[in-house]
Amino acid sequence: MVTRVSNSRYLFTSRWHLPATTKEVYSALVDVAAYPLWWPQVRSARQVDDNSGEIRCRSLLPYDLVFVAHREIEDAEGGILRARLDGDLNGVSQWSIRADGEGSLAVFDEDVTVGNPLVRVAGRFARPVLRYNHDLVMRAGERGLAEYLAG
């Protein structure tokens, strides 16, 4: 789900139901460098320093989003991963992972402003397209992670 708060600020929430333990899900989500292996729209992820990595994403829309994620919280016991984002997206993102039936629920929350001028302008005119694109990216990520965890 995407909720636009203003022309350049967005709140995102996605819920992924995964057939794996919370430990397995956490281990996969903390390994950002491996995201391109299972998340088709994450085109690259590279380590910048001990606490930061650059991520490049692209989906149906004709532009890449590039941002640096700076680790703020990495709590394996509590199932929380939180990062501050800088670049084409600015703000915070967080994964919260908990047991859910026979698997796990990974909740992704993001509160960002758009740093990319093209996306900021597009947001004024193409909100349904941006929502559809984000939903597509998140559904593909959930499917990809489920397959990755299944081996």
**Each residue's pLDDT tens digit, 34-87:** 999 999 999 999 999 999 999 999 988 788 999 999 999 999 999 999 999 999
Give the pLDDT score at 7.
Answer: 59
**DSSP string across 4-38:** ESSSSEEEEEEEEEESS-HHHHHHHHH-GGGHHHH
> Residue 110 is part of which domain span?
2-150
Instruction: State how many domains the chain has.
Output: 1
Burial 20-29 (b: 16+ CB within 10 A, else e): bebebbbebb
Residues 7-32 have a mean pLDDT of 93
| pTM to 2 decimal places | 0.90
The residues facing 83 across adjacent strands are 71, 93
What confidence tier does 88 reach under pLDDT thresholds 50, 70, 90?
A: very high
Give the pLDDT score at 136.
Answer: 94
Percent of the chain having pLDDT more than 70? 89
Give the pLDDT score at 115.
Answer: 84
pLDDT (tens digit, 9 = 90+) per residue, 95-132? 999 999 999 999 999 999 888 777 667 666 666 777 78
Terminal CA-CA length for the chain: 28
Cα–Cα distance between 51 and 49 in angstroms, integer? Answer: 6
Cα–Cα distance between 147 and 125 in angstroms, integer? Answer: 35
What confidence tier does 4 reach under pLDDT thresholds 50, 70, 90?
A: very low
Give the pLDDT score at 117.
Answer: 75
CATH number of the structural domain spanning residue 58: 3.30.530.20
What confidence tier does 149 reach under pLDDT thresholds 50, 70, 90?
A: very high
Question: Residue 5 pLDDT > 60, yes or no?
Answer: no
